[in-house]
Amino acid sequence: MLPGLARGAQVAKPVPADGYAGSEACATCHEDKATSLASTQHGRAGNPRTPAATQGCESCHGPGKAHAEAGGGIGVGGIVNPSKLLPQRASETCTSCHDRGTHALWSGSQHDQRNVGCVTCHSVHAPKGERQIKAASQMELCGTCHKNIVNRQHRFTHMPVREGKVECTSCHNPHGSANVKLLRVGTTVDDSCTSCHSEKRGPHLWEHAPVANACVTCHNPHGSNNERLLEAKLPYLCQRCHVTSRHPPTVYDGFVMRNSQNANKIISRGCVNCHQQIHGSNAPSGQFFLR
Amino acid sequence: MRITLTILIISFFLGSSSLALAQSTTPGGARTTGSVDFGGRFTSTTGDEARYERYRDLRNGATSHIEVRKDTSKYLFNVRVDNAGYRDQRYGADYDANGKVRLAFGWDSIPLNYSYISSTPWVEQSKGVWTLSKSARQAVQDRAAGVVGIPTTASQLLQPSIYRGLASSFDLQYRRDNATASAKVAASKDVTLDLAFKSSRRDGYRPWAASFAFNNANELPMPLDDRTKDVTAGFELVKPEGMIRVAYDGSWFNNALHDFVWDNPLRATDTNPFDPSGYSNGNGPAQGRMALSPSNAMNVVSVIGLYKMPNHTTLNSSIAFSQNTQNDTLIPWTINNVILPTMQPLPRTTAEAKVQGINALLNFTSRPTQLLGLTMRYRYNRHDNMTPMFDAREYVRFDAVPEETGGETEQFDITQNTFDIAGTLNLTSRIPLRLTYTLDDFKRGGRAFSDMTDYTFRSSLDILQTQYVTVRSQYENTHRIGTGFSQDAIEEGGAQPGLRFYDEADRSRNKGTIIVQLDPATMVSLNLLMAAGKDHYHGPGLEFGLKDNSNGSYNVGVDVTPNDTMSLGANFGYDIYNTHQDSRNANPPADLTAVPPVAASDYGSWFDPNRTWNMHNRERVNNAGMYLDLIKLAPNTDVRFSYDYSDSDNAFILGGPRVQELETGRALSGPSAIVYPGFTIPAPCTPAGSTCFEQLPAVTNTWQRVSLDVKHFFTQKVGIAVGYWFEKLDIADFATVDLPGQPGTPRTDYLGAILTGYGNRPYKASTGFLRLLYLF
| Distance between CA atoms of residues B499 and B183, nearest Å | 53
Residues B646-662: tens digit of each pLDDT: 999 999 999 999 999 99
CB distance A209–B215 less than 8 Å?
Answer: no
Is 70 exceeded by the pLDDT of residue B220?
yes
| Distance between CA atoms of residues B478 and B500, nearest Å | 18
In angstroms, the separation between the Cα of residue B14 and the nearest Cα of chain A is 23
Q: Which of B150, B154, B381 sits opposite A187 (nearest CB)?
A: B381
Q: How confident is the model at residue B20 (pLDDT cuts 50, 70, 90)?
A: very low
Q: Which of B379, B575, B750 sits opposite A148 (nearest CB)?
A: B575
CB distance B306–A99 less than 8 Å?
Answer: yes
* A13–B contact, CB cutoff 8 A: no
Secondary structure of residue B18 in the 3-state scheme: helix
| Distance between CA atoms of residues B381 and B214, nearest Å | 41
Torsion of CA B25, B31, B32, B35, to 10 degrees: 120
Residues B473-503: tens digit of each pLDDT: 999 999 999 999 999 999 988 899 999 999 9
- Chain A interface mutation, best of B56, B65, B73, B176, highest count of A Cβ atoms under 10 Å: B73
Region A67-85 average pLDDT: 86
Residues B234-246: tens digit of each pLDDT: 999 999 999 999 9
CB distance A273–B734 less than 8 Å?
Answer: no
Q: Amino acid identity of B280? A: S
Q: Which of B242, B326, B397 sits opposite A290 (nearest CB)?
A: B397
> Are B219 and B755 a contacting pair, CB within 8 Å?
yes
CB distance B495–A242 less than 8 Å?
Answer: yes
Is 80 exceeded by the pLDDT of residue B671?
no
Q: How confident is the model at residue B22 (pLDDT cuts 50, 70, 90)?
A: very low
Q: Name which of B202, B205, B209, B121 is nearest B171 in CA terms.
A: B205
CB distance B243–A100 less than 8 Å?
Answer: yes
In angstroms, the separation between the Cα of residue A268 and the nearest Cα of chain B is 5
pLDDT at B429: 84
Region A233-256 average pLDDT: 95
Q: How confident is the model at residue A257 (pLDDT cuts 50, 70, 90)?
A: very high
Q: How confident is the model at residue A9 (pLDDT cuts 50, 70, 90)?
A: very low
Say which DSSP state B406 is in: -
CB distance A213–B503 less than 8 Å?
Answer: yes
Say which DSSP state A67 is in: H
User: How large a percentage of chain B has pLDDT more than 90?
Assistant: 84
Residues B502, B508, B514: CA angle, nearest 5 degrees? 115
The neighbour count for residue A150, using CB atoms within 10 Å, is: 25
> Are B448 and B489 a contacting pair, CB within 8 Å?
yes
Instruction: Identify the residue with better confidence: B732 or B664.
Output: B732
Q: Which residues, including other chains, have CB under 8 Å from residue A182's CB and lie 6 or more apart?
A: A109, A110, A111, A172, A173, A174, A176
Secondary structure of residue B395 in the 3-state scheme: strand
**B606 dihedral zone (left: phi>0; alpha: psi -120 to 50; beta):** alpha
3-state SS track over A187-230 = CCHHHHHCCCCHHHCCCCCECCHHHHCCHHHCECCCCECCHHHE
The neighbour count for residue A84, using CB atoms within 10 Å, is: 12
In angstroms, the separation between the Cα of residue B11 and the nearest Cα of chain A is 26
| Distance between CA atoms of residues B385 and B478, nearest Å | 29
CB distance B238–A156 less than 8 Å?
Answer: no
Region B738-748 average pLDDT: 95
Strand partners, B306: B243, B316
The neighbour count for residue A79, using CB atoms within 10 Å, is: 22
Is 60 exceeded by the pLDDT of residue B18?
no
- pLDDT, mean over chain A: 90
CB distance B293–A199 less than 8 Å?
Answer: yes
Region A247-254 average pLDDT: 94
Is 80 exceeded by the pLDDT of residue A13?
no
Residue A248 φ/ψ, nearest 5 degrees: -60, -45
- pLDDT, mean over chain B: 93
* A73–B contact, CB cutoff 8 A: no
pLDDT at A4: 38
Residues 179-218 of A with CB under 8 A from B: 180, 186-188, 191, 195-196, 198-207, 209-210, 212-213, 217
Which region among A31-45, A168-182, B85-99, B627-641 has the lowest average model confidence (pLDDT)?
A31-45
Region A90-104 average pLDDT: 90
Q: Which residues, including other chains, have CB under 8 Å from residue B282's CB and lie 6 or more apart?
A: B150, B212, B213, B215, B216, B266, B267
H/E run at residue B431: strand B431-444
Residues B336-381: tens digit of each pLDDT: 999 999 999 999 999 999 999 999 999 999 999 989 999 999 999 9
Q: Name which of B446, B297, B277 is nearest A206 in CA terms.
A: B446
**What CA–CA distances, in Å, run from A184 to A153, A179, B251, B304?**
19, 7, 16, 14
> Are B610 and B669 a contacting pair, CB within 8 Å?
yes
The neighbour count for residue B391, using CB atoms within 10 Å, is: 16
Burial B484-504 (b: 16+ CB within 10 A, else e): ebeeebbeeeebbeebbbbbb
Q: Amino acid identity of B172? A: L
CB distance A261–B373 less than 8 Å?
Answer: no
CB distance B214–A7 less than 8 Å?
Answer: no
> What ipTM was estimated for this complex?
0.93
In angstroms, the separation between the Cα of residue A116 and the nearest Cα of chain B is 10
| Distance between CA atoms of residues B385 and B410, nearest Å | 9
Region B128-156 average pLDDT: 96
Residue B758 φ/ψ, nearest 5 degrees: -65, 135
The neighbour count for residue B751, using CB atoms within 10 Å, is: 25
